[in-house]
Amino acid sequence: MHEARRSAQAVSVHEPVLLREALEGLAPRSGGTYIDANLGGGGHAAAVLAASAPNGTLLGIDADASAIARSTARLSDYGARLKTFHGSSAQIAEAAAAAGFHGVNGILFDLGLSSDQLVDHERGFGIRTGGTLDLRFNPKKGESAAALLAHLTVAELTKLLRELGEEPQAAKIARAIVARRAATPITTADELAALVAEVATRPGKPARIHPATRVFQALRIAVNDELGALATALEAAIHLLAVGGRIVVLTYHSLEDRIVKKAFAAAAKGCICPPKVPLCGCGVRPSLLLITDKPLTASDEEVARNPRSRSAKLRVAERVEVAA
């Protein structure tokens, strides 16, 4: 049994971020039902299943079929306590219905890339790993990053890099990409990373991150509609929770965190009347209680051990009974 578990775990190199804090936020218990909306390498899911023994159940959702396969192997010892759904987190309501999950006790969103994806040579997630410039979680859906770069105008690309990557040199990079593609298509992660480094690196100012990091972030968000999926998934997740159920969200950049903070604050406030209205007339009551007023971040020790945790922020809220 132990040998089988070691073999299964070897298929993933992913280390879960803020694991202790995520578990404390979810507070899993035996008999509870839980959803991991971004299954990834299965590290958080394994901890939830262990903490909810002997009969807690977990539904793992992921748009990446290879992540489903890796996690299913890693978590095989949990048998029927694990259910999976191949699809976007935006389909969380559909996935829950298919699994027979109603009144869920805890939902986890871990919005970062897994280490397994970062070392994948086929889709180009890792800037230093290289590979085809795809960046889709599900390569069978939508348009690849290479295809997107092939037709966007300078203005469109500038806007994309500025809004989704928060890239300060968006216009300069966009012009360079369009000029380069006129001579030869940009089809690999190596080509794009080298081009961005060539035009965006500031002499004498060593970068803390690769110069192309924000560019890859913007393209990945765009081809996977990550922000739209997150907004849809959060709204559905809040409705799926049982009273007392917890929702835990791990974000890795300000665009994600802003959406989560806004969604939590709106659900915790309830009332949607204009600010100047003296008495509430809308009848909308709070559906969440904020457990974390400010997001939790990784300790220095965790950042040293796992640099991916450096930018992580964790927020927790609890479903409350909505008064009639």
In 63-215, where do the E strands start and end? 82-86, 104-110
Would the CATH topology of 2-116+226-319 be identical to that of 119-224? no
Q: Specify the CATH architecture of the domain 2-116+226-319.
A: 3-Layer(aba) Sandwich (3.40)
Q: Where are the domains of the chain?
A: 2-116+226-319, 119-224
Q: What is the pTM of this model?
A: 0.90
**Spatial CA neighbour of 111 closest among 322, 312, 323:** 312
pLDDT digits (tens, 9 = 90+) for 256-294: 999 999 999 999 998 888 888 888 878 789 999 999 999
**Spatial CA neighbour of 253 closest among 202, 301, 214:** 214
Residue 76: DSSP 8-state: G
Angstrom distance (rounded) from CA 83 to CA 247: 19
pLDDT digits (tens, 9 = 90+) for 128-165: 777 899 999 999 999 999 999 999 999 999 999 999 99
pLDDT digits (tens, 9 = 90+) for 181-240: 999 999 999 999 999 999 987 665 556 788 999 999 999 999 999 999 999 999 999 999
CATH for 119-224 (1.10.150.170, 3.20.20.10, 3.40.50.12280, 3.40.462.40): 1.10.150.170
The full 3-state SS of 33-50, as one line of letters, equals EEEECCCCCCHHHHHHHH
